[in-house]
Amino acid sequence: MRGNITEGEKASFFEPLLGRDWLFMCEINGFDVVSQSFDHSEALHFACDEDFNRIQESIKDCKKKLEAYKKKTEEAYSDVSARDDEIELVADELKDLKAQWASIDEKKQSLKRKERDDLRAEKKLSMYACVTKVIPEADIARKELRSSN
C-alpha cells in the first residue's frame, strides 16, 4: 500500500487520467473516499497478482505431474506389450509341446497296435501249430504273416 499522500499529489496524479470535472466531483463527495477506494484497488491488485502467481505455480506443478503420469503410462504400456510378447512366446512353446505330445501319443498308439498285431500273429501261429501239429520256424512264420496282412 502506499504511504500518506497529500491532497495535491493525489489531484496531480488523477487530473491527467480523469479530468478536472471528475476531480471537482471528488472534492464535493470527499477526496478521502476516492483515496480509500484507490488504496483498496491497489491492495486488491496486489492480492490478485499474488493469486495469479500462485495459480501459475500450481499450473506448472500440475504440468510436471501430468508429464510424470504420461511417462509412467508409457512405461506401463511398454511393460504390457513386453508381457504380451512373453505370453505369445509361451503360447508358441505350449503349442509346440502339445504337438510333441500328440506325436508321442500317436507313436504310443501305433506301438500298441503293433503289439496287438504281433499278439494276433502269435495266436494265429499257435493255432496253426495246434491244428497241423507242425511248429514252423518263428522267423519264417512272421514273414508269412506280415506278407498276408
DSSP state letters, 38-93: HHHHHHHHHHHHHHHHHHHHHHHHHHHHHHHHHHHHHHHHHHHHHHHHHHHHHHHH
- Burial of 38 (C-beta count, 10 Å sphere; 0-12/13-18/19+): middle
Instruction: Report whether pLDDT(10) > 70.
Output: no
For residue 142 the three cell numbers come to: 512272421
- Is the residue at 127 inside a domain? yes
pLDDT of residue 71: 93
Please indicate, yes or no, if residue 1 is contained in any of the structural domains: no
Give this prediction's pTM: 0.39
Residue 70 lies in a domain: yes
User: Is the pLDDT assigned to residue 66 strictly greater than 90?
Assistant: yes
Residue 88 lies in a domain: yes
Whether 61 maps to a domain, the answer reads yes
Judge whether 2 lies within some domain. Answer: no
Q: What is the mean pLDDT of residues 40-47?
A: 86
Pairwise CA distance, residues 109 & 48, whole Å:
88
Residue ranges making up the domain that contains 103: 7-148
Q: How many domains does the chain have?
A: 1
Residue 26 lies in a domain: yes
Residue 78, in any domain of the structure: yes
Return all residues near 121 (Cβ < 8 A) that are at least 6 apart: 141, 142, 145, 146
